[in-house]
Every structure is written in C-alpha cells, then in structure tokens.
Structure 1
Amino acid sequence: MQYKTLAELYVQLEKTSKRLEKTFLLSEFLKQCSEQDLKQVVYLIQGRVFAQAEDKKLGMSSQLLVKVIAHATGENKETVEDMWKKEGDLGLAAEKLITKKKQSTLFGKALTVAKVIDNISKLAEMEGDGTVQRKVALIGELLSSASPLEARYIIRTVAEELRAGVGDSGLRDALVWTFYPRIIGIFYQCETCKTLNPAGEKCLVCGKNIEGKFSEEIKKKFPKEVLIPKDEKEGRDLYNSFIEEVQGAFNVSNDFGVLAQLLKEHGPQGLKHTLLTVGKPIKAMLYPKVKDITEGFEVVGKPAMIEPKLDGFRVQIHRNKETVKLFTRNLEDVSVQFP
C-alpha cells in the first residue's frame, strides 16, 4: 500500500470530531487493506510502528526532528524553528517547507507503508557512535521521497503526536464494522448510493438523507452477509455481543494489529486464538471509583470479590520459570529497576 493513501485517511480523520464518522472512515479503509499491510496499517493509525506492549523507544527529540527537516529541505535550523513556531506543529512545518522546496530532486519513488515502518522502526535499534547521523539519514530518506502531506504525518509519527483522534474504542468498533456482519437497525441503507451507514440523518458517502426507520428497513433486500434481527432490541444485543467479543480479545492481547490480522484471515472465529501470554503485558481492568460500599455493590452486583487496596507502586508481574518481568500500569517494562 502506498503511504499516500494512508496520509489521505489521516486528513479525513482530522476533519471530523464525530466518532461515528471516524469509525466509518476507518472501517471503509481497513476493508481495502491486504493481509500483508493490515497489521502495519493498524499500528500506524494508532500513531506507532510497534505494538504497544513492545518496550521500544524511537529516541527522536523535537530538536533532532528540526535537524532532520533542515537536512531534507536544505533550510537552516532557524528557518525550520521559525516555521514550527508559526504553525505550532513540526508536522505542518515540514509540510510547508517541503511545499516551498520545488526542486525535482526532492521527490523520489512513491513511499509505501512497509518502507515507512521499516525506516522508523530501525530508529529504536540504533545506539553508539554516529547514532544521530544515522537517524537523520533514515528519516531524511523518507522525507526526500515524501509529498508535503506525507511529510506532515511522517514527522508526526516519529514525534508520536499523530493527532488523528483515534482511540482504542474507535478502533475496536471499526474492526467490528469491518469484519463482522452489518446488522439492520444498527446500520441503515442509503436509497441513493446503497451504502450501509450507521444510524444517522445523512449518508456518510453521498450526503443524502436517510430515513432510518427499522420497520421500513427490514422490508428491503440485502446481501446474505447482512443480518436482519426480529426487532431493534435483538439487533442492539447482537451488536453489543460483537463489541464485547473484540474487546475481550483486546483485553488479553493488547494488540489491535494482531486482532485485525486474525479477523482478516479467519473471521470472528480467529479471535479464539487470542490468549494471555507470559511476558506480554495487558491493560489492568480497574473499576472506577465509587463514593461508598453501597454504590460499589450497585456497580458490580452481588456476590462480589473484594481485596484490600495497598499503597505503593502498582506493577504487573510476569514469571516464566526463572525469568521475571515487571510492568507498570502504562505497560512499561521496569524489571531492571528491581534486580
């Protein structure tokens, strides 16, 4: 997949603050991804090149990125810093400066998602003498082939500030919309372009009005992969079960890239392959705070398991024979701090 295609998705995601629209955009995009690209694309949509559980740091400061942009555009550092100050974003600064740079030598062959992932991931492996120069060269290579728009998102990805507004819940829902059957009552068909849209007033593709009446919708003919429940409640319950299935798989894998790959290759049945793995941290499922024990039982029900809350440093402990790893609540490996 060309990186330009992904950059154009980022633009669409930035333009809307509506969660349903973001989820729809993600779903339509993920449908187009090949098995080869899908996992990497999911990571890039999250603004990273590694799975969250991988304890790898790119080690690229803002000042080092200024140096990269200066190197790629032929501008001096002061010019880059002035543009950064004006735009308030290094990605936009890179975009403006590359737009300004008109020499044909600036643009090379089309960037692919695989090439972007490969170059950026190498940053985490570099250490020792000459590291700064090699990092500048790696990202500079990408920028030399990038369009102004691609440059914006390459810099943001390396800076770990993508700004696409995609959270875990939005990506989870997008996987459901992509790899599970569409359910009438949750989705309604546009009479003009025949696209199945999430419940709303207008089609997200052609902009035409959608009536959105369940009683009328179930009279239409749909492809066999579309589910038609007996009523709206059954449809909602079924949809919620799909959401819970993907959420449960994410809770034990902590990796949307892997889940997307399993769903692409095996369908929903593929999620049965997700298991807890020693050495791979998961997010702690903590209950929200309540004001007293009465409210607590109202939230969790009865019977309930209660354990004391201790002061101190919350860690997740993984042990595999003689190997012990400690992870923080943010999934950082802190094993070396406790020899």
Structure 2
Amino acid sequence: MEYSILAESFKKMESTRKRLELTQFLVELFEKTPHEVISKITYLLQGKLRPDFEGIEIGIAEKLAIKAISKSSGIAIKKIEEEYVKGGDLGHAAAIILEQKTQTTFLMENITVERVYETLFKIAKLEGSGSQDMKIKYISSLLNDANPLEASFILKILLGTLRLGVAENTVMDALAIAYSGSKENRKILENAYNVSSDLGKVAETIATKGIEGIEKFQIKLFSPIRPMLADRVKSEKEVIEKMGKEFAIEYKLDGERVQIHIENEKIELFSRSLEKISNYYPDIIEKIPKIIQA
C-alpha cells in the first residue's frame, strides 16, 4: 500500500477535531487498506508499532532526527534547527527543508506502508555500539524517497509527536462501519479489545474474519486485560443516580494495580497501563509460586 495514501489521511485528520469527521476519514482509509496491512495502519495511527504490553518503543531524539534530515537533504544542521525553532514542529520543518532539497536521488524507491513500518521496527530494535549511526542511515533512506508530506509524518511517528486526535473508540467506530456496515457493532469490537489489549489484532480480525471472528476473542495468558477504570462522583446520591438501586462497592486500596500471568515456570507482571513490569519486581516474582501453592 502506498504510504502517500496514509500520509494524506493523516493530513485530513490533523485538520479537524470533530469526531464524526475523524470517523469518516478513518472509514475511507480502512476501505482503501489491504487486509494484510490493516494491523500496521492501526498501530501507526496510534503512533505505535505493536501493542503497549510488548514494550516496543519507537522514539528517537530530536538531534538524531535533525542529523538524518541533513544527511537526506544536503542542508546544514543549523538551517534545519532554525526552521524548527520557527514553527516548533520538526516534522513540519522537515517538509519545508525537503522542498529545498539540494541532493537528488535518481534511483528512488516507492515509499509503501510496509517499508515504512519495517524500517521503523528495525530502528526500534537497534541498540548498542553503532546504533545511532544505523538509525540515521535508516531514517535518511526513507527521507530520500519520501515527498515532504510523507517525510513529515514519518518523523512525527519517530519522535512521538503524531497528534491526530483519534481516540481508540473512534478507531473502533470506524472499523465497525468499514467492515461490518454498522456502528452498532462497536461494542463487540470493544469487548475484543478489552480482553486482548491489541487494537491491531482486532482490526486484522474484523477485516479478515468479520464480526464472527471478533466474537471469538477470549482472555489469553500474557496478553493483559484492559483495566476497568472508575468515574469520580461528588456524592452518594450521584452514585445511585448513575448505577441504579443495586450495585456492589469495594474498597479502593493504595498501591499499584498489577496483573499477574502464570503458566508453569513463566510469570509476567503487567501494570495498569499494560506495560510489562516483571523486571521491576523480582521479589514479587520470587514469592508468587509459594503464594499460589498455598
């Protein structure tokens, strides 16, 4: 799938904060998206490469991004920094700089969603000696073949500054409309998302297997469940008004809300924000088998 289609959709989404318009732009995007790319598109919409619990971070430093822009454009770092200061958005600055590009690549390759995604994934996985130079190489290779608009959004994803105003519920509304013909099916998608915490997987499933596939989602070990969060109210009367006459109450305890997933010798802990935190609590990991036996 051509990355230009995604970049144009991002541009439309940035131009509005109206939920109905955002939903319509998403529906149009999903209808153009091949099934094998839908999960990648869904992650990129959120500025991610994978679900949170897999812990794959894209983010790069601004200085490194500026070096990559300079390498691709042939324009001095100082001039790029000046353009960045003017607007405060490095993605936008890159688009302006690349319009003034002094270097021409004759053997340009097409920028596809697949290529962008795979390159970003390689960048996210790089670490250790020489990794900074490799990141610059990968980023500049994309920018060499990208038009200014495409480059702008590649950098916004890399820097974690993509602001489309698209909430998860809006994405699910659009998926329901695009692949089932009815927004009413959003609740079924929401249940699947709640038990999987993986919106990309939800998108791929409804695109390839329809609502029947979504209805088969179940809780799975080592895929954390999204936590139920409370709404604040000001009085007991308001609780009754919101909940009705019959409801259960439990104490709110101080401390961290942690999910514990266990299978044989494997133990993983997940935070309220669905991040894997097993390495932070070795003492808890050590005691869990004894507690379970008890």
For the criterion TM > 0.5, the same-fold answer is yes
Matched residue, 1:290: 233
Q: Please point out which of 165, 168, 186 is paired with 1:243.
A: 186
Query: Does the aligned pair in 1 maintain the 2:75–2:102 contact within 8 Å?
Result: no
> TM-score scaled to structure 1, two decimals?
0.79
1:19 pairs with 2:19: yes
The amino acid across from 1:92 in the alignment is H
Query: Matches of 1:70 and 1:102 in 2, distance apart?
Result: 10
Matched residue, 2:57: 57
Query: Matches of 1:294 and 1:159 in 2, distance apart?
Result: 46
Matches within 5 A, 1:295-314: 295-314=238-257
Query: Does the aligned pair in 2 maintain the 1:58–1:158 contact within 8 Å?
Result: yes
Root-mean-square deviation (Å): 1.7
> TM-score scaled to structure 2, two decimals?
0.90
Matched residue, 1:216: none
Matched residue, 1:88: 88
1:79 pairs with 2:79: yes
Matches within 5 A, 1:134-213: 134-182=134-182
Query: Matches of 1:327 and 1:255 in 2, distance apart?
Result: 14
Matched residue, 1:110: 110
In the comparison of the two structures, how many residue pairs are matched?
A: 282
1:261 pairs with 2:211: no
1:66 pairs with 2:9: no
> 1:59 Cα shift?
4.5
Query: Matches of 1:24 and 1:105 in 2, distance apart?
Result: 36
Q: Which has the higher helix share?
A: 2
> 1:296 Cα shift?
2.3
Query: Does the aligned pair in 2 maintain the 1:106–1:144 contact within 8 Å?
Result: no
Per-residue displacement from partner, 1:171-194 (whole Å, max 9, x unpaired)? Answer: 011011111234xxxxxxxxxxxx
Query: Matches of 1:42 and 1:180 in 2, distance apart?
Result: 17
Unaligned runs of 5+ in 2: 283-294
Per-residue displacement from partner, 1:192-251 (whole Å, max 9, x unpaired)? Answer: xxxxxxxxxxxxxxxxxxxxxxxxxxxxxxxxxxxxxxxxxxxxxxx54x2211211111
Unaligned runs of 5+ in 1: 183-238
1:98 pairs with 2:41: no
The amino acid across from 2:74 in the alignment is G
Query: Matches of 2:253 and 2:28 in 1, distance apart?
Result: 46
> 1:70 Cα shift?
1.7
> 1:106 Cα shift?
7.4
Matched residue, 1:206: none
Query: Matches of 1:36 and 1:334 in 2, distance apart?
Result: 31
Residue aligned with 2:50, SS:
coil
The amino acid across from 2:250 in the alignment is E
Distance 1:36 1:249, change over 3 A: same
Structure with the bigger RCO (C-alpha within 8 Å, sep 6+) is 2
